[in-house]
Amino acid sequence: RIGSATSLSSAVINSRLQELVRLFRERTDKVKEKLVDSDVTSDEESPVASPAAAAVPAPGGELEGDKPAGDDHYCEMLCCTFKCQPWLDRLRSYQFPSSIDPLTNLMYVLWLFFVVMAWNWNCWLIPVRWAFPYQTPANIHYWLLVDYLCDLIYLLDILVFQTRLQFVQGGDIITDKKAMKENYLRSQRFKMDVLCLLPLDFFYFKVGVNPLLRFPRCLKYMAFFEFNDRLEAILTKAYIYRVIRTTAYLLYSLHVNSCLYYWASAYEGLGSTTWVYDGEGNSYIRCYYWAVKTLITIGGLPDPKTLFEIVFQLLNYFTGVFAFSVMIGQMRDVVGAATAGQTYYRSCMDSTIKYMNFYRIPRAVQNRVKTWYEYTWHSQGMLDESELLVQLPDKMRLDIAIDVNYSIVSRVALFQGCDRQMIFDMLKRLRSVVYLPNDYVCKKGEIGREMYIIQAGQVQVLGGPDGKAVLVTLKAGSVFGEISLLAAGGGNRRTANVVAHGFANLFILEKKDLNEILVHYPESQKLLRKKAKKMLRSNNKPKDEKGGPGDPLIIPPKADTPKLFKAALAASGRMGGKGPLGRLRWRLKELQAMQE
């Protein structure tokens, strides 16, 4: 029992002494490092984050997560209480905005849609009701109901919406009610809106319900063009709407021509000659077919007989040639604008192929270049993203870069704790590069001057004796090469080969760009240097020194007796061997004799 207690106390003393030696050694290394490099600071020191890094409260004044859960909504009716939808309460408490932004307000775009529908009703149906016998005393009240509903939409647009539209004056956005109203009253739009609502309907009491008296309603064309601009601004594929609109122009011109042909046939007398409409079948479809053949100049029409028919046909031919050529030209412009990017891509690829053929580049290299062009175009819709953003202001480029890249860069351990504004400046310097399968991103032994962030795809780190063994596979969001950005002494050499496994989209940050940014952020520069040196020391230590898994021993070697403890035992022997140390010294001699 005495022997076991003695060995236990010896082990405790030994472990305590070794812990003290380790702490003294680490403190000495830190003091030496601080004396050599003045930029190294203590572990507790870190740069102060910019104000933008503070938590921004939600628009309601509360942080996310602190909002209380929505309460149940109940409604009372006929002495009964039942649950109702919360949107009913929102609808009751809704207040119409005092000012409307015409460029970004989707509610205003929706209202313009209803205004344009009313305008189209007048433009398409007024010629039909005037020329064809579709408006009869039996259904006149239905026509008038829809007519006055469209007039109500026109009136609401003048009184409610147009007087609340914001406008820019001297660089300021004016939202004052009186100023917005005066601006609308002075505009050309107000004059046209009043003109299109002329009350010519009172002449119905004298001449009857003549649809031509509603022709001024077609003068609200400015709302139609404004709706086109607003709708194209919010559509992702606006060229589809442009094609539909151009086609509608052609159909409307044929529609008007068919109405005029029926009017001319009625004027001459239905079936009076071979040229006029004979009154059989569906009148609108038959006249529309005649208008298509005339305007597109297909031919095969009966010859006009009278002077009126000849003049009418000549005007139709001239108008058809002019209108059809305009429609074709406009359609060509629409399709050309829609395929401008594809045309640029094809021209770049053709020029590159012509260059490679001129210098007789090997076929394998040409195929890889073609593959790069095709994949880059299909993956991101352009060859160089910087060309798209170069026209934007610096603030807008930063906003786009934050939405696209900030979530990836903020996860890099090297940049955690740095000034947030420094990271924003760094986002604008990132460059997107596409690597093909088996392309070398970096090779072992070369000087590292870039950091890589994987946006999409995978890369493999190769090593081993032959340099072909896959050590690790990095996926989207991973980062490598960050130590090379801050390595001193001419750069840090790559320690392994990195190869793209399949197609890989990478963001690259060059060392010179980071150095230009760090000039304005000295505190972040000190922190990055400190982190880089720690990462370099940890990478250069052998595995057993870092405490990593070494070769396991079945029987671990016995630890040597500390020198200080040996000196204490020797001193107790010289003093007569009394006390605890003396008894421990005597016990150690017995154990040594037994081992021998």
Sequence-separated (6 or more) residues with CB below 8 Å from residue 303: 274, 275
CA 112 to chain centre: 27
pLDDT value of residue 83? 53
Structural domain includes residue 13: no
Ranked by mean pLDDT, the top range of 162-176, 183-197, 315-329 is 183-197
Q: What is the pLDDT of residue 484?
A: 73
Residue that wins the pLDDT comparison between 393 and 9: 393
How far apart, in whole angstroms, are the C-alpha atoms of residue 242 and residue 248?
A: 10
In this structure, are strands 469-474 and 440-442 parallel, antiparallel, or unpaired?
Answer: unpaired
pLDDT in the model for residue 67: 43
Burial of 261 (0-12, 13-18, 19+ CB in 10 A): buried
pLDDT band at 310; cut points 50, 70, 90: very high
Q: At what angle do helices 307-338 and 340-358 cross, to 10 degrees?
A: 60
Domain end marker among 234, 264, 296? 234
By percentage, how much of the chain surpasses pLDDT 90?
29
Query: How much is the pLDDT for 260?
Result: 94
Average pLDDT of the residues in 319-343? 83
Distances (CA, A) of 313 to 229, 270, 307: 37, 17, 10
Per the structure, the count of domains in the chain is 3
Which run of H or of E encompasses 452?
strand 450-463
Confidence of residue 487 (pLDDT cuts 50, 70, 90): low
Among 62-71, 525-534, 538-547, the range scoring the smallest mean pLDDT is 62-71
Condensed to tens digits (0 to 9), the pLDDT of residues 36-46 reads 554 444 444 44
Hey, how many other C-beta atoms are within 10 angstroms of the C-beta on 508?
A: 17
Q: What is the DSSP letter of 158?
A: I
- Chain segment 173-216, per-residue pLDDT in tens: 889 999 999 999 999 999 999 999 999 999 999 998 999 999 99
Please give the share of the chain, as a percent, with pLDDT higher than 70.
77
Contact 333, 239 (CB under 8 A): no
Question: Using an 8 Å Cβ cutoff, are 480 and 474 in contact?
Answer: yes
Of the segments 178-192, 318-332, 438-452, 512-526, which one has the largest average pLDDT value? Answer: 178-192
Please say whether the beta carbons of 536 and 483 come within 8 A.
Answer: yes
Please check the confidence at residue 311 and state whether its pLDDT lies above 90: yes
- pLDDT at residue number 64: 42
What average pLDDT does the segment 116-121 reach? Answer: 96
Highest mean pLDDT: which range of 12-16, 259-263, 579-583: 259-263
- Whether 467 is covered by a domain: the verdict is yes
Comparing CA positions, the residue from 496, 433, 436, 434 lying closest to residue 461 is 496
Output helix, strand, coil percentages for the chain, rounded to the nearest 5: 60, 10, 30
- Of 476, 473, 487, whose CA–CA distance to 533 is shortest? 487
The pTM for the full model equals: 0.63
How sure is the predictor about 60, in pLDDT bands with cuts at 50, 70 and 90? very low
Residues 220 and 117 in one domain: yes
Element of type H or E holding 379: helix 363-380
* DSSP state letter for 160: I
Question: Which range among 28-37, 247-256, 366-375 shows the weakest confidence by mean pLDDT?
Answer: 28-37
Which token pair is 407? 């979530």
Spatial separation of the C-alpha atoms in residues 129 and 140, rounded to whole Å: 11
With a cut of 70, say whether residue 88 has pLDDT above it: no
**257 to each of 131, 290, 555, how far by Cα in Å?**
11, 9, 104
- For residue 529, being part of any structural domain is answered with yes
Q: Pick the closest to residue 186 from 163, 220, 157 (CA basis).
A: 163
**Is residue 583 included in any domain, yes or no?**
no
Does 55 reside within a domain? no
Q: Which pair of structure tokens corresponds to residue 29? A: 């290394």
User: Is residue 566 predicted with pLDDT exceeding 70?
Assistant: no
Q: Identify the residue whose tokens are 């003695």.
A: 6
Q: What is the pLDDT of residue 405?
A: 75
* Res. 448 pLDDT band, cuts 50 70 90: confident
Helix, coil or strand: residue 462: strand
Are 108 and 209 members of one domain?
A: yes
Residue 36 is assigned to a structural domain of this protein: no
Which residue has better confidence, 378 or 274?
A: 274
Residues 132 and 152 in one domain: yes
Contact 271, 260 (CB under 8 A): no
461: domain CATH number is 2.60.120.10
The residue among 204 and 565 whose pLDDT is bigger is: 204
**Residue 518: pLDDT above 60?**
yes
Is 332 in the same domain as 454? Answer: no
**Residues 259, 229 share a domain:** no
**Mean pLDDT score, 94-119:** 90
- What's the whole-number mean pLDDT along residues 251-255? 93
Token representation of residue 219: 């003068």
Indicate whether 118 and 217 sit together in one domain: yes
Under DSSP, the state recorded for 133 is: T
What pLDDT does 578 receive? 59
Q: Are residues 512 and 483 in the same domain?
A: yes
Quote the tokens at residue 443.
Answer: 């090779």
Domain end point (choices 383, 409, 438) = 383
Q: Write the CB contacts of 299 (distance below 8 Å, at least 6 apart in sequence).
A: 293
Alpha helices in 40-92 (DSSP H): 86-92
What confidence tier does 277 reach under pLDDT thresholds 50, 70, 90?
Answer: very high
Can you tell me whether residue 79 is helix, strand or coil?
Answer: coil
Assess whether 224 and 243 both reside in one domain. no
Q: Identify whether 57 is part of a domain.
A: no
Are residues 146 and 108 part of one domain?
yes
Q: Which residues contact 501 (CB under 8 A, 6 or more apart)?
A: 437, 457, 458, 459, 460, 473
409/460: higher pLDDT: 460
Instruction: Let me know whether 433 and 399 are in one domain.
Output: yes
Residues 396 and 379 in one domain: no
Across the range 291-307, mean pLDDT stands at: 82
Taking 60 as the threshold, does the pLDDT of residue 515 lie above it?
yes
Three-state SS for 204-268 is HHHHCCCHHHHHHHHHCHHHHHHHHHHHHHHCCCHHHHHHHHHHHHHHHHHHHHHHHHHHHHHHH
Q: Which regions of 92-145 does DSSP assign to beta strands (E)? A: none
Query: Please, which residues bridge with residue 506 across strands?
Result: 433, 454
Query: Taking all residues of the chain, what is their mean pLDDT, rounded to a whole number?
Result: 79
Whether 374 and 418 map to the same domain: the answer is no
Per-residue pLDDT tens digits for 374-413: 888 877 777 766 666 677 787 887 888 788 777 777 777 7
Tokens of 348: 């770049």
Query: Hey, what are 260's tokens?
Result: 């005029």
Q: How confident is the model at residue 286 (pLDDT cuts 50, 70, 90)?
A: very high
Task: Tell me how long the chain is.
Answer: 596
Least confident of 38-42, 152-156, 226-230, 502-506: 38-42
Instruction: Determine the pLDDT at residue 426.
Output: 85
Ranked by mean pLDDT, the top range of 3-7, 147-151, 452-456, 458-462 is 147-151
Least-confidence region, from 69-83, 226-240, 480-494, 545-559: 545-559
Rg of the chain on CA atoms, in Å: 42
Domain of residue 259, CATH code: 1.10.287
- Boundary-marking domain end, from 327, 349, 383: 383
**Does position 52 have pLDDT exceeding 70, yes or no?**
no
487-494: Cβ within 8 A, 24+ apart: 487/448, 487/532, 487/536, 490/447, 491/447, 491/448, 491/449, 492/447, 492/448, 492/536, 493/445, 493/446, 493/447, 493/448, 494/442, 494/443, 494/444, 494/445, 494/446, 494/447, 494/448
Whether residue 116 has pLDDT greater than 60 = yes
Mean pLDDT of 160-171: 90
Identify the pLDDT of residue 85.
57
- Sign of the alpha-carbon torsion through 507, 513, 514, 520: negative
Residue 231 has what pLDDT? 93
Residue 554 pLDDT greater than 50, yes or no: no
Range of the domain at 126: 94-234
DSSP single-letter state for residue 438: T
CA distance 140 to 201: 14
Look at residue 218 and tell me if it is in a domain: yes
| The pLDDT of residue 553 | 38
Mean local confidence (pLDDT), 103-114 = 92
CB 108 within 8 A of CB 161: yes
